[in-house]
Amino acid sequence: MIGRLGKRLMPAALTTGSLLAFVAFWQVVSLYTNPDFLPSPGRVWDEAVRLFHTPVGGKDILAHVGFSLRRVLTAYLWATVLGLPLGLCMGWNRTCEKIVSPIFELLRPIPPIAWIPIAILWLGVAEGSKVFICFVGSFVILVLNSYTGMRYVDPLLIDAARSFGASRRQQFFNVAVPACLPSIFAGLQNALSMAWMCVLAAELVGAREGVGFIIIQGMDLNRPPMILVGMILIGIVGSLLAASLRWAERALCPWRRELV
Amino acid sequence: METAATYPYAANRKTKVQVENLTKCYGDLLVLDKINFEIYQGELLCIVGPTGCGKTTFLNCLSQFIPMTEGSILVDGVPASPEIHNIAFVFQEVSAIPWLTVEDNIRFGLRIKRLPEAEIELRTERMLDLVGLRKYRTYYPQQLSASMEQRVVIARNFAINPDLLLMDEPYGQLDVKLRYYLEDELIRIWKELGSTVAFITHNIEEAIYLAERILILSPKPSTIKEEVIVDLPRPRQYDDPEFVRLREYVTERIKWW
Ligand SMILES: Nc1ncnc2c1ncn2[C@@H]1O[C@H](COP(=O)(O)OP(=O)(O)OP(=O)(O)O)[C@@H](O)[C@H]1O
Ligand SMILES: [Mg+2]
């Protein structure tokens, strides 16, 4: 029999259980493989502890995370400021759609990573090109999500506003924008994940700091545990970013909260 | 048309809406064919007709959601327009706004019309009582049952004190018990506020229960086939012989199957 408390604890127990099982599986596999090939969880842990105390490339590990985050957030901010209004505009206004979407359809299939060489050519190997790659990745997603969200706004709701004599402006701000908030949020989440993936790709190509640099450094120094620490950091930071946006969505879209 | 019966009915009533030669084609498809009628101030008018005869189309013309092909609709002597007239519209599908709570849904139209905040509060409180949703004021539409949601929409529309309330088969999706309940509620609110209501339905019983006057549309291309005055005391009884006679009469006159 599962009591009420049990029901509340159940999901947490399942999450912890699955993480523990994953680590156990990793441990078992690492027992039977060459440690240079797959270091055991223990060794990775030790490496993580070591990295927290000894700087890599002159900076400690949190500073590296900070560098990556700063690039991501700068790019993400720009992508949001430019991409959201553009997407909403495309979805709302036929003329805007006709003008922007052909260019956009052409640029869309180009993966952000394919921009790396040209970005370096334009902006140099320093911050500029890395931020640019992240920007491209998240911008495309933000535009697409807000655009499709706007296209699928229930016309009935617009008509309801029109029947009260709402101006175009009121229809846009009072109905269309709130109606596509869920898809805007989906876009914000995907775009942030994308920016985070892009920063690593960018950092793998010539960086002196950042989480990607740790991985490259681990490879150059031939330290597999260091590579894994870098990868795990990527995972942790990425999921924390996603969780914070989910939290923001729950706070800002209370009508979407599931009620049990 | 039973013009003889119409005249005493119209005798001391002011014309609210004047529909003249209203014609609507979708491409080659003629849906409304030179329709002429009027809606009087403060009346509860039901419009019945077979499905697909153009009832929704008529309301969409009236609220200018779609352009009419020919003819004119005048409200108080000027061409109908949501910007000028206080027209409220209950759609065939329930149109409560999902991201607004019950009370904010009721405020929605008032805010669009930029009424003073104090007036908005006053009317919202009144409507909450009128449709009995005070306890649910902070609920979101998704947390309500279908009939409660429809009541939110009705409250939202009555809140703007509409000169003209258009209802397009608002109770079509609801079960019989809820429909009876909401019909009584509509009559009560209509009497209390003295609004003009045009109620579209294809349920004859519902039309006779509600209406002071019924317009029967023919299948498309639609014209007004007949006008029936329902002069029964309220509350009306479904098994009252006069009610039954009228129902059979209207059914006979429609014969759209
Ligand atoms: N946007 C449109 N384009 C083309 N034809 C349309 C359009 N809207 C409606 N029609 C046609 O016009 C006719 C009348 O439609 P309308 O929706 O007004 O019927 P209705 O009387 O409201 O029917 P119901 O009782 O099912 O709601 C139908 O035959 C329909 O196919
Ligand atoms: Mg219809």
Encode pLDDT of B77-100 as tens digits: 898 888 888 888 888 888 899 999
Read off the pLDDT of residues B233-245 as tens digits, 9 standing for 90 and up: 888 988 899 999 9
Nearest by CB to residue B113, choosing from A157, A165, A181, is A165
pLDDT at position A81 over 50: yes
In chain B, the N- to C-terminal Cα span, in Å, equals 22
CB contact under 8 A, A170 and B160: no
Q: Answer yes or no: do B112 and A170 touch at CB < 8 A.
A: yes
Class of CATH domain B8-85+163-254: alpha beta
Atom of ligand 1 nearest to the CA of B50: 25
Q: Is B111 on the interface with A (CB under 8 A)?
A: yes
| Predicted pLDDT of residue B2 | 45
Specify if A34 maps to a domain: no
Residues with CB under 6 A from ligand 1: B 26, 29, 31, 49, 51-57, 92, 202, 220
CB atoms A253 and B113 under 8 Å: no
Neighbours of A85 (CB within 10 A): 13
Low-confidence ranges of chain B (pLDDT < 50): 1-4
Q: b/e per residue, A156-177, with b = 16+ CB within 10 A?
A: ebbbbbbbbbbeeebbbebbbb
**Average predicted confidence (pLDDT) for chain A:** 89
Contact A163 B111 (CB under 8 A): no
**For residues A184-203, average pLDDT:** 92
Stretch (H or E) spanning B18: strand B15-26
pLDDT at residue B4 in the model: 46
A76 belongs to a structural domain: yes
Q: Is A201 a domain residue? A: yes
Task: Answer yes or no: is A146 within a domain.
Answer: yes
Number of domains making up chain A: 1
Give the type of residue at B94: V
Q: How far B99 CA lies from chain A's nearest CA (Å)? A: 5
Closest residue of chain A to B161, computed from CA coordinates? A164
- Nearest of A163, A167, A165 to residue B83 by alpha carbon: A165
- Residues in chain A with CB shorter than 8 Å from the CB of B87 are 163
**Alpha-carbon dihedral sign for residues A56, A58, A62, A65:** negative
For chain B, state the CA radius of gyration: 18
A152 at B interface, C-beta within 8 A: no
Is residue A204 included in any domain, yes or no?
A: yes
| ipTM of the complex as predicted | 0.82
In a domain, A252, yes or no: yes
Question: For residue A168, is it within any domain?
Answer: yes
- A254: its two tokens: 């209370």
Confidence of residue A228 (pLDDT cuts 50, 70, 90): very high
**From A163, A181, A259, residue closest to B82, measured CB to CB:** A163
The candidate with the shortest Cα–Cα distance to B210, out of B177, B232, B239, is B232
SS (H, E, C) B78-137: EECCCCCCCEEEECCCCCCCCCCCHHHHHHHHHHHCCCCHHHHHHHHHHHHHHCCCHHHC
Q: What is the pLDDT of residue B50?
A: 84
- CATH number of domain containing A227: 1.10.3720.10
Task: Give B-chain residues touching A170 at CB under 8 angstroms.
Answer: 112
**Percentage of chain A with pLDDT > 90?**
57
Domain that holds residue A140: 61-256
Q: Per-domain residue ranges for chain B?
A: 8-85+163-254, 98-161
Q: Is B138 on the interface with A (CB under 8 A)?
A: no
**pLDDT for res B6:** 57
| B14-17 contacts at long range (C-beta below 8 A, 24 or more positions apart) | B14/B40, B14/B41, B15/B39, B15/B40, B15/B41, B16/B40, B16/B41, B16/B42, B16/B43, B16/B75, B16/B76, B16/B163, B16/B164, B16/B196, B17/B62, B17/B73, B17/B74, B17/B75, B17/B80, B17/B164, B17/B196, B17/B198
- Band (pLDDT 50/70/90 cuts) for residue A259 is low
The one-letter amino acid code at A250 reads R
Residues of B in contact with A152 (CB under 8 A): none
Question: From the CA of B12, how far away is ligand 2's center (Å)?
Answer: 32
Does residue A57 carry a pLDDT above 90?
no
User: Closest residue of A to B83, CA-based?
Assistant: A165
The SS3 assignment for A24 reads helix
Ligand 1: residue of B23, B25, B26 to mutate (most ligand atoms within 8 A of CB) is B26
In whole angstroms, what is the distance from residue B148 CA to residue B125 CA?
A: 17
Whether residue A36 is predicted with pLDDT greater than 90 in this model: the reply is no
What integer pLDDT is reported at residue A1 of this predicted model? 53
Q: Judge whether A158 is closer than 8 Å to chain B, CB to CB.
A: no
Q: Note whether B91 contacts A: Cβ–Cβ < 8 A.
A: yes
Q: Please report the pLDDT score of residue A172 as a whole number.
A: 95
Q: Is A148 on the interface with B (CB under 8 A)?
A: no
